[in-house]
């Protein structure tokens, strides 16, 4: 098959990790007889520097025309003082919205080889975990009205969270569909004891649950969920939650796998075309030093093969190579822990994965 893939390298470690995933995809193409055409587009700080706009129209058009999109990360201290509309993050939110990518799948599992890197107690680690966070990605407080005004105590700022029934219905369906392919359990996370959006969320999820009698469904308040994730992560199969709760809880879930450098994601909409992105950011503290863990991005590329192109064997091949690299004790600095193993860089990790494809 021939596929056109738009590359959004972005900022910080973005270019390093995207180039790593591209190398892996090139080897997959050769091995399985496909042709992947890669076209880079500007986003985030790099786009601001070149054009003054974090999401140039050319980038939106290129992504909409491509068969799929692979993104690194955006942002960094250089652009942190720019006005809200000109921040790199606005480019990322803009492309998710422009492509209608309301579902963000963030799988988090404990690799047996990384048990030593999990910060949890040995008896919890022994139970393992394998969960799928389904994060709503184009609504909620990220996209609500916001502003500044004069308040009771002087100048104040405000943000609003709004969810429509339609938005909750479609993300709930995405979660129940995901659960059907897994252990058939959904936990919906909200703050229904305080927030009206959460009460609507909960009612709607319960109504959609009736369409899926084969899948069990329960609610959990977000503060409890943050605690349960480190107390007994094995209780979670599919988790469905709002944009902001999902952002926060997925970083928490990533660290119990060993590192945020391990977690891939797929951002999906109504069509098969999606955007594939690691959950982490541009890691300005290690950018340009060949220290980044490319696994989250390489696994995002595997999700692209599976979800966008229906290339199951090809996706398995990448995932197995990552398993093998970890089993062989090959580590970037973020997953070395106290193992005494000498860490390798992003480029060498890429080569090690490629050797095992
Ligand atoms: P971050 O995820 O960039 O980094 C947090 C910590 O994790 C840092 O110590 C970093 O070195 C480490 N880390 C992250 N990815 C790693 C990897 N692949 N390998 C090894 N270590 C890794 O979060 P932050 O520092 O809060 O944010 C930095 C910038 O990135 C901000 O501008 C933020 O807005 C942006 N950001 C972008 C995205 C995205 O583009 N999807 C996601 C999150 C944050
Ligand atoms: C993520 C990031 C983004 C988000 C930021 C950079 C806008 O943290 O992908 O998790 O909050 O969605
Ligand atoms: Mn995040």
Q: Cα(284) to centroid of ligand 1, in Å?
A: 7
Q: Is-contact 212 179, C-beta < 8 A? A: yes
Predicted confidence (pLDDT) at residue 346 exceeds the cutoff of 90: yes
CA nearest ligand 1 atom 27, residue: 281
Supply the residues annotated as catalytic: 142, 191, 223, 247, 251
Q: Is-contact 277 302, C-beta < 8 A? A: no
CB of 16 closer than 6 angstroms to any ligand 1 atom: no
Q: How far is CA 71 from the centre of its chain?
A: 10
Q: Cα(280) to centroid of ligand 1, in Å?
A: 5
Backbone angles phi, psi at 341, to 5 degrees: -70, 145
CA nearest ligand 2 atom 1, residue: 279
Give residue 338's pLDDT.
Answer: 87
- The ligand with the least distance to the CA atom of 263 is 1
Q: Could you report the per-residue pLDDT of 113-158, keeping only the tens digit for each?
A: 999 999 999 999 999 999 999 999 999 999 999 999 999 999 999 9
> Domains, the chain, ranges and CATH?
1-107+261-357 (3.40.718.10), 119-131+144-256 (3.40.718.10)
Return the residue matching tokens 């193409």: 29
Identify any residues that bridge with 108 across adjacent strands, giving them in sequence order: 131
Q: Could you report the per-residue pLDDT of 261-314, keeping only the tens digit for each?
A: 999 999 999 887 899 999 999 999 999 999 999 999 999 999 999 999 999 999
- The ligand with the least distance to the CA atom of 285 is 1
Average model confidence (pLDDT) across the chain: 97
Residues of the chain with pLDDT > 90: what percent?
A: 97
Mutate to test the pocket of ligand 2, among 8, 89, 245, 255 (most ligand atoms within 8 A of CB): 89
Give residue 273's pLDDT.
Answer: 82
The residues, ordered by sequence, that sit 6+ positions from 132 with a Cβ below 8 Å of its Cβ are 105, 106, 107, 108, 178, 182, 237, 238, 239
Give residue 269's pLDDT.
Answer: 96
CA nearest ligand 1 atom 17, residue: 261
CA nearest ligand 2 atom 12, residue: 247
Give residue 224's pLDDT.
Answer: 98
Mean pLDDT of the 1-12 span: 98
Q: Is the dihedral of CA 31, 347, 267, 70 positive or negative?
A: negative
Question: Measuring CA to CA, which residue among 97, 120, 98 is closest to residue 110?
Answer: 120
Q: How far apart, in Å, are the Cα atoms of 284 and each of 79, 216, 265, 290, 303?
A: 12, 41, 20, 12, 25
Give residue 271's pLDDT.
Answer: 81
DSSP class per residue in 265-304: -EEE-SSS-EEE--SS---TTTTTTT----HHHHHHHHHH
Mutate to test the pocket of ligand 2, among 73, 103, 247, 254 (most ligand atoms within 8 A of CB): 247
Confidence of residue 43 (pLDDT cuts 50, 70, 90): very high
Give residue 152's pLDDT.
Answer: 97
Question: Measuring CA to CA, which residue among 211, 228, 224 is closest to residue 175?
Answer: 211
Ligand 1 atom closest to 72 (CA): 40
Whole-model pTM: value is: 0.98
d(CA 90, CA 88): 5
Confidence of residue 250 (pLDDT cuts 50, 70, 90): very high
Mean pLDDT of the 245-257 span: 98
Exposure on the CB side of residue 18, measured as CA atoms within 13 A: 27
């Amino acid at each position: 098959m021939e596929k056109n893939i738009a590359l959004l390298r972005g900022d910080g470690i973005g270019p390093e990790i995207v180039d790593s995933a591209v190398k892996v995809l090139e080897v997959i193409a050769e091995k399985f007889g496909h042709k992947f055409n890669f076209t880079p587009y500007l986003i985030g700080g790099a786009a601001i520097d070149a054009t003054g706009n974090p999401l140039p129209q050319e980038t939106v058009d290129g992504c909409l025309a491509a068969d799929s999109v692979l993104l690194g990360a955006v942002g960094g201290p250089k652009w942190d003082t720019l006005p809200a509309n000109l921040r790199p993050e606005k480019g990322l939110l803009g492309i998710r919205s422009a492509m209608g990518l309301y579902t963000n799948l963030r799988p988090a599992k404990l690799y047996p080889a990384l048990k030593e890197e999990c910060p949890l107690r040995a008896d919890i680690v022994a139970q393992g975990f394998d969960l799928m966070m389904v994060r709503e990605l184009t609504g909620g407080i990220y996209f609500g009205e916001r502003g500044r005004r004069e308040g009771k105590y002087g100048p104040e700022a405000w943000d609003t969270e709004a969810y429509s029934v339609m938005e909750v219905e479609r993300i709930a369906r995405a979660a129940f569909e995901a659960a059907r392919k897994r252990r058939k359990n959904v936990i919906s996370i909200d703050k229904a004891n305080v927030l009206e959006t959460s009460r609507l969320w909960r009612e709607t999820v319960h109504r959609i649950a009736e369409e899926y009698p084969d899948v069990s469904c329960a609610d959990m308040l977000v503060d409890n969920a943050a605690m349960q994730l480190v107390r007994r992560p094995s209780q979670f199969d599919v988790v469905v939650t709002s944009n902001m709760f999902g952002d926060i809880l997925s970083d928490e879930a990533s660290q119990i796998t060993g590192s945020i450098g391990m977690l891939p994601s797929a951002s999906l909409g109504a069509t098969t075309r999606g955007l594939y992105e690691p959950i982490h950011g541009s890691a300005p503290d290690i950018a340009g030093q060949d220290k980044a863990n490319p696994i989250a991005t390489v696994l995002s590329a595997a999700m692209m093969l599976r979800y966008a192109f229906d290339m199951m064997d090809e996706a398995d091949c990448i995932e197995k190579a990552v398993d093998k690299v970890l089993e062989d004790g090959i580590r970037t600095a973020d997953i070395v822990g106290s193992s005494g193993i000498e860490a390798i860089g992003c480029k060498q990790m890429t080569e090690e994965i490629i050797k095992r494809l």
